[in-house]
Amino acid sequence: MVHSGRGLEYFSRPRPLSYITMTQSSSPPSINKNIKRSPLFERFGPWIGFLPFFAFIVFFVIVPSTNLFIGAFQDTKGNFTFENIQVMFNPYVLKSYGISLQVSLITSLAGGIFGFFIAYAITIGKTPKWMRNILMTFSGLAANFGGVPLAFAFIATIGHTGFITAFLRNICYTSPAHQQYCPFDIYEAGFNLYSVLGLTLAYLYFQFPLMVLTITPALEGLKKEWREASDNLGATGWQYWWYVGLPVLWPSILGAMILLFSSAFGAFATAQALTGGSIYLVTILIGQQIRGDVLNNPNEGYALALGMVVIMSVCIVGYTILQRQTVKWLKS
């Protein structure tokens, strides 16, 4: 064993104060927390995270909208004209707007009512927690399930050769006159998936889940004190909802239905894939004008899209006003 020549007494001897001070001073210096930042960074630093959002808005909202607005007042040679706006009064264009508004209104009302009762069941009702989790997860998925996959799903289930259609068609009975009777054949009863009714059913698949996601926070914002106060005053459940619950939720319900209306009014891929353009929606008409496979006047398509932008802008303004009213009620 090799010794360094220093005994144990070397390490046990007391050290002078200067040695201790020198040892302590050799520790790393503390970090200065009062580092001065440039005034430019202090002013614009918090906005750096918004740059991707602003870039998305500029390139995918502002620039296309500006191009659409300019193109609506130009002819094919780039000259200024009002002829594209006059096409809005064409009977076929008015019919396409009417069908689009009809489908949007029906699906927003039906989806809003159905979605409200489902949201009520999972928030205020006695629905088990596991059922609430399943319904909320399904709503999140179904609200974003649209386009070609949704159209194919409906064709594969309740189309002419869909498996549900085939199952119902095979449920037949023999009448006393020895004639086969199939009462559950939906197409014999007059149903047609490739009609306005079929398109409405397809839209409802993503409309009512969107209503569930939108109205659930408003239902959860109802204060228990309001219900307890009404119970203490002798009010029934119907009286509570008529005089307290619905007046508070009414702006949220209308705002959610406006959101559903906008979602259905701007839908294109589902209707195109399901009906092949046989239903004259305004979105399909715009696609035909811009693509040029049937019609060929992009500027008229821009004018039709400008009309849609006006309608959607009214919906957005109404939704914003109603949401502010809802926040005011729930914070009171």
- Pick 5 or 164 by higher pLDDT: 164
pLDDT band at 330 (very low <50, low <70, confident <90, very high): low
Least confident segment among 204-208, 235-239, 277-281: 277-281
Whether 150 and 202 have beta carbons less than 8 Å apart is answered as yes
Does residue 1 carry a pLDDT above 50? Answer: no
Does residue 216 carry a pLDDT above 60? Answer: yes
List the beta bridge partners of residue 74. Answer: 80
Query: Mapping DSSP to helix (H, G, I), strand (E, B) and coil, where does residue 40 land?
Result: helix
Asked whether the CA dihedral 51, 56, 59, 65 is positive or negative, the reply is negative
- Pick 203 or 178 by higher pLDDT: 203
Which structure tokens are listed for 211? 């209503």
Q: Measured between alpha carbons, how far is residue 315 from residues 193, 295, 322 in Å?
A: 29, 29, 11
Length of the chain equals 332
Per-residue DSSP letters for 106-152? HHHHHHHHHHHHHHHHHHTS---HHHHHHHHHHHHHHTT--SHHHHH
The whole-number pLDDT of residue 116 equals 95
Q: Tokens 């398509």 sit at which residue? A: 301
Q: For the residues 20-26, what does the mean pLDDT come to?
A: 47
Does residue 242 carry a pLDDT above 80? Answer: yes
Whether 163 and 287 have beta carbons less than 8 Å apart is answered as no
Q: For the residues 276-284, what does the mean pLDDT come to?
A: 87
How many angstroms separate the first and last alpha carbons of the chain? Answer: 83
Does residue 28 carry a pLDDT above 60? Answer: no
Mean confidence (pLDDT) of the chain: 83
Does residue 27 carry a pLDDT above 60? Answer: no
The whole-number pLDDT of residue 17 equals 47
CA 296 and chain centroid, separation = 32
Whether 168 and 188 have beta carbons less than 8 Å apart is answered as no
Does residue 3 carry a pLDDT above 90? Answer: no
Model confidence over 138-155: pLDDT tens digits? 999 999 888 889 999 999
The whole-number pLDDT of residue 197 equals 92
Dihedral of CA atoms 251, 254, 259, 263 in degrees, nearest 10, equals: 180
Does residue 255 carry a pLDDT above 50? Answer: yes
Name 65's Cβ contacts closer than 8 Å, sequence gap at least 6: 309
What domains appear along the chain, each with residue ranges and CATH number? 90-331 (1.10.3720.10)
Residue 330 zone, left/alpha/beta (φ > 0; ψ -120 to 50; rest): alpha
The whole-number pLDDT of residue 76 equals 78
Whether 159 and 258 have beta carbons less than 8 Å apart is answered as no
List the beta bridge partners of residue 173. Answer: 181
Does residue 273 carry a pLDDT above 80? Answer: yes
Which structure tokens are listed for 242? 């008529």
Whether 256 and 108 have beta carbons less than 8 Å apart is answered as no
Q: Measured between alpha carbons, how far is residue 76 from residues 79, 297, 299, 302 in Å?
A: 8, 8, 7, 12
Q: How many CA atoms lie within 13 A of 167 on its CB side?
A: 6
CA 315 and chain centroid, separation = 14
DSSP 8-state symbol, 80: B
Does residue 30 carry a pLDDT above 70? Answer: no
Whole-prediction pTM = 0.79
pLDDT band at 294 (very low <50, low <70, confident <90, very high): low
Model confidence over 164-195: pLDDT tens digits? 999 998 888 887 777 778 888 899 888 999 99
Does residue 310 carry a pLDDT above 50? Answer: yes
E strand segments, the chain: 173-174, 180-181
Closest by CA to 282, choosing from 300, 259, 260, is: 300
